[in-house]
């Protein structure tokens, strides 16, 4: 079945540091890939997405590129802020499904001032 | 602009009790979902619905029931609460129309449920 594997957390960075959160997936066909963010006490919010190979999703300074050859969708940001502290989830949606998402286990990011 | 609203936010149940988690959305979305989130884990799909009157099982449906009598509402029912159902429950919705086939899922703020 489909699966998403994220790098183990938690991750702690200083403000303005470079961020990478690794995500790899297993799925048949050509899934769409997503990053969601969850702030404390809130539901998940879509951060960015990519629907086909070599697409780059971007939002709020975050970027991720759909790499089919390595089945990866790593999240990056050049300079993190304290306000980026949250849990980040990688997810996929298999083509043809009823928009169901398969999530990774999440990575807790803490940014220190 | 309410989006997806879940009630209650917190609840403690005794083993064997029943309850209904409410979810309503005001975006006229066709697709609705229930997930559970266990500590340190990703979200797992319990049930989903592609429209009023249509529901289907997700990855972890045992111990739960759902109904979808209207487009807006998608309640989740626990009939005989068990400690294994202690979790945070999220409801989500998404559009089933539009040129972008990957309309994002919009999530509620969750219901934190403890079974003691």
pLDDT tens track for A26-37 = 988 888 999 999
Residue A2 pLDDT: 86
At residue A81 the predicted structure's pLDDT band, cuts being 50, 70 and 90, is very high
Sequence-distant (6+) residues with CB within 8 A of B92 are A43, A44, B4, B32, B33, B34, B35, B105, B106, B107, B108
Question: Which band of pLDDT confidence, cut at 50, 70 and 90, is reported for residue B1?
Answer: low
For B66, the token pair is 């759902």
- DSSP secondary structure letters along B22-45: EEEESS--SEEEEEEE-TTS-EEE
Q: How far is the C-alpha of A1 from the C-alpha of B57, rounded, in Å?
A: 16
Task: State the Cα–Cα distance between residues A91 and A59, nearest whole angstrom.
Answer: 16
Is B109's CB within 8 Å of A93's CB?
Answer: no
Cα gap B35→B18, rounded to integer Å: 18
Among B4, B48, B108, the residue with its CB nearest the CB of A100 is: B48
In three-state secondary structure terms, A84 is helix
% of chain A surpassing 90 pLDDT: 74
What the block records as the tokens of A8 is: 């183990």
pLDDT at residue B98 greater than cutoff 80? no
Q: What pLDDT, on the 0 to 100 scale, is given for residue B95?
A: 85
Residue pair B2/B26 in contact (Cβ under 8 Å)? The answer is yes
DSSP conformational letter for B69: S
Provide the pLDDT confidence category of residue B39 given band limits of 50, 70 and 90.
confident
Q: What is the pLDDT of residue B40?
A: 77
* pLDDT for residue A97: 60
- Residue indicated by tokens 């991750």: A11
Residue A43 is predicted with a pLDDT of 86
Interface of A with B (CB under 8 A): 4, 32, 34, 41-46, 49, 51, 89, 91, 93, 98-101, 103-106
pLDDT tier, B102 (very low <50, low <70, confident <90, very high otherwise):
low
Residue A59 CB contacts under 8 Å (≥ 6 apart), including other chains? A47, A48
Question: What's residue A59's pLDDT?
Answer: 96
Decide if A44 and B48 are in contact by the 8 Å CB cutoff.
Answer: no
Q: Are strands A11-14 and A19-21 parallel, antiparallel or unpaired?
A: unpaired
The minimal CB distance from A103 to the residues B42, B48, B94 is found for B42
Structure tokens that stand for B15 in this block: 């083993």
Residue B101 has pLDDT above 80, yes or no: no
So what's the pLDDT on residue A8? 76
Q: Which among B102, B106, B112 is the top mutation candidate for probing chain A, defined by the most A β-carbons within 10 Å of its own β-carbon?
A: B102
Local structure of residue B95 (DSSP, 8 states): -
pLDDT in the model for residue B92: 94
Q: Flag whether pLDDT at A45 surpasses 70.
A: yes
């Amino acid at each position: 079945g489909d699966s998403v594997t994220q790098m183990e957390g938690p991750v702690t960075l200083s403000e303005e540091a470079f961020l990478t959160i690794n995500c790899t997936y297993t799925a048949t066909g050509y899934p769409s890939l997503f990053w969601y963010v969850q702030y404390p006490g809130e539901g998940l919010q879509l951060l960015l997405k990519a629907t086909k190979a070599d697409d780059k999703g971007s939002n709020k300074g975050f970027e991720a590129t759909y790499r089919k050859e390595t089945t990866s969708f790593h999240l990056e940001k050049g300079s993190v802020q304290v306000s980026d502290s949250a849990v980040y989830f990688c997810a996929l949606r298999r083509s043809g499904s009823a928009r169901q998402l398969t999530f990774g286990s999440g990575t807790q990011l803490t940014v220190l001032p | 602009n309410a989006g997806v609203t879940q009630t209650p936010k917190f609840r403690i149940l005794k083993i064997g009790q029943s309850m209904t988690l409410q979810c309503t959305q005001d975006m006229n979305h066709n697709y609705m979902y229930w997930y559970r989130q266990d500590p340190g884990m990703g979200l797992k799909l319990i049930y989903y619905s592609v429209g009023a009157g249509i529901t289907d099982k997700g990855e972890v449906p045992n111990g739960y029931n759902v109904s979808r009598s209207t487009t807006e509402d998608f309640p989740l029912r626990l009939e005989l609460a068990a400690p294994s159902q202690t979790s945070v429950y999220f409801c989500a919705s998404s559009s089933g129309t539009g040129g972008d086939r990957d309309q994002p899922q919009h999530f509620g703020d969750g219901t934190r449920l403890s079974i003691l």
